[in-house]
Amino acid sequence: MTHLETDTTRERITEAAGEMFAERGFDATTVRDICQRAGANIAAVNYYFRDKQRLYIEAVCLAHRAHLEKFPLPKWAEDTPPQTRLADFILTFLRRIRGGREGGWYAKLVMREMANPTTACAELVQSSIRPQFEILLQIVRELLPAHAPPEELRLTTFSVVGQCLFYHFADPVTRNLLSPSDYAALSIERLAEHITKFCLAAIEQQTPTMPARRKPHTGAAK
C-alpha cells in the first residue's frame, strides 16, 4: 500500500465517520457502518485510529479545523485598532456558526459535541478552540483598562462568545418568536454589527472614566 493510498483510505474513513456521527451520534454509529460507507475494510479503523473513540475525536477536530479554514480571520495590519478587530472576530465567528448550515456535516458534528460533550471536547479545545480564544482575549485585553483583573478579562471575553452562540443555540426559539420578515432581517452582518456595538458599549460602561488600553498589535491573526 502506497503512502497516497494510505492517506486516501484514512481520509475516506474520517469523512464517512464524521458524516455518520453528525447524523446519528456516537453511540448509534457502528464501525461496520462507517467502513461500509467509506468502502474500507473493517480492520482499517483499528489500523489507522486504534478504536472508534479515537476516530470520533479526529472527526470532531477535523470538522472544526475545516470550519476555521473556510471562514478565516482577516490578516490585520499591526496598527489595526482593537475595535475593528473585535468587529471582524465577531463577524467571522457568526459566519462559522451560522453560515456553517450549508457546510455539510462539519458544523453539525461540532455543535453536537458542544451540546453533549465527550472526551473529544478537551482535545478540541486545546488544538483548535483555545488559539481562537486567545486571539479574542487579546482584543478584549486592549479594550479594557490596564488594571482590569484577569477574572474580568475572562468574563468579558466569554460574554462576547456567549452572545454569538445565542443566535445558534436559540435559533428555533427566535425563529418562532419573530415574524418571518423580522427573522429574515437578522442577517449575519446585522447580528455582527449589533453584537459589536453592544459589547463595545458594555465595556465602556464598565470603566467610564478609564481610557481603554492601547497596545500595538503584534501581528496578523493565525
If you average pLDDT over every residue of the chain, what do you get?
Answer: 89
Residue 134 is part of which domain span?
Answer: 68-206
The residue-averaged pLDDT of 75-102 equals 90
Same-domain status, 44 and 141: no
| Pair (136, 92) in one structural domain | yes
Residue 216 lies in a domain: no
Query: What is the number of structural domains in the chain?
Result: 2
CA distance 4 to 149: 51
Q: Which of 62, 53, 19, 61 is nearest to 38 (CA)?
A: 19
Is 214 part of any domain? no
pLDDT tens string 110-160: 888 988 899 999 999 999 999 999 999 999 999 999 889 999 999 999 999
The pTM (predicted TM-score) of the whole model is 0.82
The predicted pLDDT at position 67 comes to 84
- First-to-final CA distance of the chain: 36
pLDDT band at 101 (very low <50, low <70, confident <90, very high): low
Residue (of 122, 116, 98, 102) closest to 26 by Cα position:
116
193-208 pLDDT, tens digit per residue, is 999 999 999 998 875 4
Cα–Cα distance for residue pair 149/151, rounded to 1 Å = 5
